[in-house]
Amino acid sequence: MTARDRWIDRHLRRLHLGQFLQRAVEWVAVYLFFFGTTVLVVKLMVPALWPHVLWVASGAVPVTVMAWWWSRTGRFTRVESVALLDHSLGAGGLLMTLTESPHREWEARLPQVERRWRESLPRIRPQRVVGPLALPLVFAVGACFVPLREIVANTTVKSTAGQQATGQLNDLLEMLEEANVLEEQEQQTLREAIEKLAEETERSPLTHEKWETVDAMEQRMRMQLEDASVDMAQAAGAAAILAKAAAGDGMKLSAERLAELEQDVLETLQKMSKNGSLSAGSSALSSDLQRLIKNGKLRLPPDGEAREQLFSELQDFLDQESEKLSELRKQCKGSCSKCGSKSCDGECEGGQCASCGKECEGELCSSCSGSRPGRGGVTRGRGDAEMTWGDESDETGVQFKETVLPPGLQDDPKDEVLGITRSAPEVDPATGVSRAAARSIDPTAGREAWSRKLRPRHRGVVRKFFDTAANE
Amino acid sequence: MSDGDFERNETVAATMATTREESALGDATAVESDAVAAAGGLLSPEEVERAQALIGRLVDGLGTAILGQQELLELVTICLLARGHMLLEGLPGLGKTELVKSLSALLGLEFRRVQFTPDLLPGDIVGSPILQETDGSRQLVFHKGPIFANLLLADEINRATPKTQSALLEAMQERRVTVMGETHELPRPFFVLATQNPIELEGTYPLPEAQLDRFTFKINVYGVSSDTLQEIISTRRHGRAPDLSEVLSREELEHLFELVEGVHLPEAVANYIARLVNATHPDSADAPGECSQFVRYGASPRAAIALAGTARAAALVAGKPNAGFDEVRRVAVSVLGHRLVLDYSARLEGWTAVRMVERLLEAVPEVGRPLPQDVAVR
């Protein structure tokens, strides 16, 4: 092979390289667009396939091989390469002629300086390659950095979070059923609602609407428990007062007060009878109590001694029931994340948690502060205001139905609980607030301002204000 | 390039090859030149130099008669060496007839001149049988016309009728004439050098395409510069040209023909010629937009053969053993210019055949495959 042939081969190889690069750039550019689109689709629609989709990038190798194979189909021939080299050298066709018909004397007329041959070789211009690749490359790389879409529908979440929540509701309901707190119809309604919720969470993810439903049901059951506990404590207190009054222990009650107390006891016993918790006591007592509340009235024995004994037994029974419910309330509160105790209510005194006794960071321990409203943790509303979750409509898209809420100044039921003690409060029963009246405010009755209930600490001031000469 | 175009190129290239073979069969000179090509492959530098010297003598001789027209003289020489017929077009008084007369004087060939007029008959050119009494008996004896010469000057050829013009068809292509069923060979070499006047439209008969196609070259003769004009005024009394003597013998001319045959035409150049001619056709994929729009009929394979032959001759004039792209471009306008039939709309748009050929030369690349974008060549 002569030097001329070697230069021609180099020229031809350069041309083939250029052809391959051009073809490869075109194909790889298309492939990069395809890759970027695939990554985007995976990230936005099938996030589970990330980062396995990156394996698609390995397809660039077969694409390059195909580009090389494809570039071979339209390759420059040797004749064309010689023609181009001849033109570059300015040989006027002599190079073409000598490759076809060699001649020693004419060979000497070709350029002999190697530099001229080298300069005549085609130059590969990388910027022409980089230019068309820049945009697809940026697109492909950019697609890799697009954040993954959050997985909303996930089987794992569906099978754990949803079922866990409904499981907790079931546990709570069972506890309430065991304590005979709920009426039978209420139990049935709650059970059906929980079953429906559990069924839905199996098929679909636990959305925020369903979380709200779970919270509302839990709250409702807790409220039922709270109410039952309060009623029980009230009834126990009333029974204690009645027992003392029957014993004639220096306590004299007005007929109206007696009637109120008896009514409290009667209502509680009726509820217990309805729930079936009345049969939990001793059989003799329960039969006595059944007789006692017959026909919706409290039938008390005429004998004072028998009455005292009855109230005494009733008080013991109601105290037991009240304690049971108190225990149940504590259990329903959930366990402290720090101490693990169900009795911990997150109260901190000084540097210690009141119940768990562990070190606190400031006034409240960090683990317990979340359970108190208005302390910066996960709460159910602003400040001390508890959010009340009502029954949610299962109809989607229905128009909002207005509900008239009770007036906002109604006394907190907790205040009522605080006022009940084993001993009689030191207030005049005549001027005391009727608890029964306080509980039964009818917003539609009107004239609330005339019958507005006052807190005990405000009563003196109000009385003094109206106790004027003009009134007299 | 479409398959059809490729086949057409192949056909043109094959025709160019077989024409050389055909001429070798019918022409002793061609046989010799083939032998030269086969023996040495390429012309030797000495042969080329000797040919250049001979050609130089001829061009210089023409230069003494025709002043300031060096390009024209070289084109005439190229056409002569390619054994082609030539049509000179130009205004009166530019020296067309003088050029042809000078050529005949310098070559020492038999020269005849025919002034074409509307009443000229074919027999006036090719000759006619005359009843003649010989040895007491009368017989028709063919009297040769002026066409029986080496160099025929057909002056103002477009003033003759198409019937008379057609008398030249067989002579120009076959180099023979047939009268009353009798064929007479024309002397070798045989050239027709015709002139025509573009401005005398009254009483003229434009040459038909078939006639035009037989002219290898059509050369437009233009005026000269004022310096040349001053020189002509100074040196030529009464417009009389200097006496010219023979500078090239018949044998030397024959030898030059042989050498032209020996000039190598590389494959890439042949391919370029084929693509160039193919691009003149409006339905070709290679044709530029203007060609598709304005050209009605493109050039024939005969044009491709003429292009290859004249490119060879041009290479020899340039002192090269081979024809290159430059030689093809140099002769393309003269070869293709009169072979393109333009549409009427071309005239409205100001397109001429010459301008169209120049556009083709711009549009058709030397190599039929585009360079990759990322590759740059000098």
Asked, for residue A269, whether it belongs to a domain, the answer is yes
Residue A136 inside a domain? The answer is: yes
Looking at residues A13-25, what average pLDDT do you find?
Answer: 88
pLDDT in tens, A73-90: 888 888 998 999 888 888
Report which of A165, A296, A314, A295 is spatially closest to residue A240, judged by C-alpha positions.
A314
pLDDT band at A364, cuts 50/70/90?
very low
- pLDDT tier, A394 (very low <50, low <70, confident <90, very high otherwise): low
State pLDDT tens for residues B122-160: 889 998 888 888 888 888 888 989 999 999 999 888 888
Listed range (A22-36, A156-170, B305-319) with the worst mean pLDDT: A156-170
Q: Average pLDDT for residues A107-115, to the nearest whole number?
A: 84
The mean-pLDDT minimum among A109-118, B22-31, B38-47 falls in: B22-31
**CA of B104 vs chain A CAs: smallest distance (Å):** 32
Which residue of chain B has the CA closest to A128? Answer: B374
* A373 inside domain: no
Same-domain check for residues A134 and A167? no
Range of the domain at A139: 3-144
Q: Kindly tell me the burial class for residue B72, based on how many C-beta atoms sit within 10 Å of its own C-beta (0-12, 13-18, 19 or more).
A: buried
- Evaluate whether residue A461 is within a structural domain: no
A217-270 confidence digits (pLDDT tens): 888 888 888 888 888 888 888 888 777 777 776 667 777 777 787 777 778 777
Over residues B214-243, mean pLDDT:
82
Tell me: do A184 and A326 sit in the same domain.
yes
| Pairing of β B217-221 and β B86-90 | parallel
CATH 3.40.50.300 assigned to domain B45-249? The reply is yes
CATH architecture for the domain at B1-41+263-368? Orthogonal Bundle (1.10)
Q: Is residue A89 part of a domain?
A: yes
Whether residue A328 lies inside any domain: the answer is: yes
Q: Of A334, A368, A391, which marks where a domain is finished?
A: A334
CA A75 to CA A63: how far, in whole Å? 18
Residues A187 and A325 in one domain: yes
| Alpha-carbon span A262 to A256, nearest angstrom | 10
Domain identity same for A45 and A99? yes
> Which ipTM did the prediction report?
0.78
Structural domain contains residue A385: no
Q: Is the dihedral of CA A218, A222, A227, A231 positive or negative?
A: positive
Structure tokens that stand for A212 in this block: 């709200």
User: Which DSSP state fits A281?
Assistant: S
Residue A217's CB: how many other CB atoms inside 10 A? Answer: 22
A167 and A131 together in one domain: no
Do both A36 and A117 map to the same domain?
A: yes
Which sequence spans correspond to the domains of chain B?
A: 1-41+263-368, 45-249
Type and span of the H or E element at A123: strand A123-124
| Residues in chain B within 8 Å Cβ distance of A130 | none
3-state secondary structure of B193: strand
Beta-sheet pairing, A123-124 with B375-376: antiparallel
Interface touch A109/B45, C-beta < 8 Å? yes
Is the Cβ–Cβ distance between A122 and A14 less than 8 Å?
yes
Q: Are A153 and A184 in contact (CB under 8 A)?
A: no
A256 in a domain, yes or no?
yes
Q: Is pLDDT of A153 > 80? A: no
What's the total number of domains in chain A? 2
List CB contacts (< 8 A) between B269 and chain A.
Answer: 83, 93, 96
Q: Which of A101, A116, A144 is the last residue of a domain?
A: A144
Which stretches within A248-346 are classed as H helix? 255-275, 283-292, 304-332
CB B73 within 8 A of CB B62: yes
Pair (A260, A116) in one structural domain: no
Q: Which residues contact B246 (CB under 8 A, 6 or more apart)?
A: B105, B106, B107, B108
Is the CB of B373 inside 8 Å of chain A's CB atoms? yes
Option in A103, A122, A129 nearest B376 (CB): A122
Percent of chain B with pLDDT over 70: 88
Average pLDDT, chain A: 73
- DSSP string for B214-278: T-SEEEEE----HHHHHHHHHH-GGGPPPP----S-HHHHHHHHHHHHHSB--HHHHHHHHHHHH
Residues of B within 8 A of A102 (CB-CB) are 41
Which residues lie across from B141 on neighbouring strands? B130
Say yes or no: B321 contacts chain A, CB-CB below 8 A.
yes
**A243 and A312 together in one domain:** yes
User: Quick one: what percent of chain A has pLDDT higher than 90?
Assistant: 3
- Total CB pairs under 8 A between chain A and B: 111
Are A109 and A8 in a shared domain? Answer: yes
Q: Is B323 in the A-facing interface, judged by CB distances under 8 Å?
A: yes
Mean residue pLDDT of chain B comes to 83
Query: Has residue A317 got a pLDDT over 90?
Result: no
Evaluate the CA torsion angle B318, B320, B321, B327 in order and state its sign: negative
pLDDT exceeds 80 at position A449: no
Q: How far apart are CA B275 and CA B366, in angstroms?
A: 9
Distance (Å, whole) CA B36 – CA B20: 14
Last residue of a domain, one of A285, A309, A334: A334
**Cβ within 8 Å, pair A15-B320:** no
Please state, in angstroms and as integers, the Cα–Cα distance from residue B175 to each residue in A171, B155, B208, following that order: 120, 19, 19
